[in-house]
Amino acid sequence: QVQLVESGGGLVQAGGSLRLSCAASGSTSSINYMAWYRQAPENQRDVVATITYGGTTGYAGSVKGRFTISRDSAKNTVYLQMNSLKPEDTAVYYCNMNRGGLNYWGKGTLVTVSS
């Protein structure tokens, strides 16, 4: 079993920064990649950033240059540093783990960016 717990969301003004954390526990071996997704009201859940087991990162075009995904393997934690936030970044942000071909999800953390 895998448990993912997100934290760090909140209310921030446009142009501000937040750092999200995702703490993984349980079976954390054989991870293919971890990712952050987000879902705004009435929208589908979209990938924001990914980091593979080897450390390769990828970003959605809308956040490239503003968001940075990183990890602390010793703490089994993945981070999402979000800078220059925009109102359109408002969403629930979900942590995702792909392990052994299966996807695991956290419950999400709400990020609200005011204009």
Q: Determine the pLDDT at residue 101.
A: 86
Residue 29: what pLDDT? 81
- Judged by DSSP in three states, 35 sits in strand
pLDDT tens digits, one per residue of 17-37: 999 999 999 887 888 999 999
> What pLDDT shows up at residue 82?
98
Report residue 64 as tokens.
């490239």
**Residue range 42-62, pLDDT digits in tens:** 999 999 999 998 999 999 999
**Can you spell out the DSSP letters for 55-73?**
--EEE-TTTTTTEEEEEEG
pLDDT of 12 strictly over 80: yes
Taking alpha carbons only, the member of 98, 101, 114 closest to residue 36 is 98
pLDDT of the residue at 94: 98
Three-point CA angle 71, 72, 74, nearest 5°: 145
Q: Looking at the DSSP assignment, which residues form a beta bridge with residue 108?
A: none
pLDDT at 28: 74
Looking only at the bridges linking them, the beta strands covering 10-13 and 109-114 are: parallel
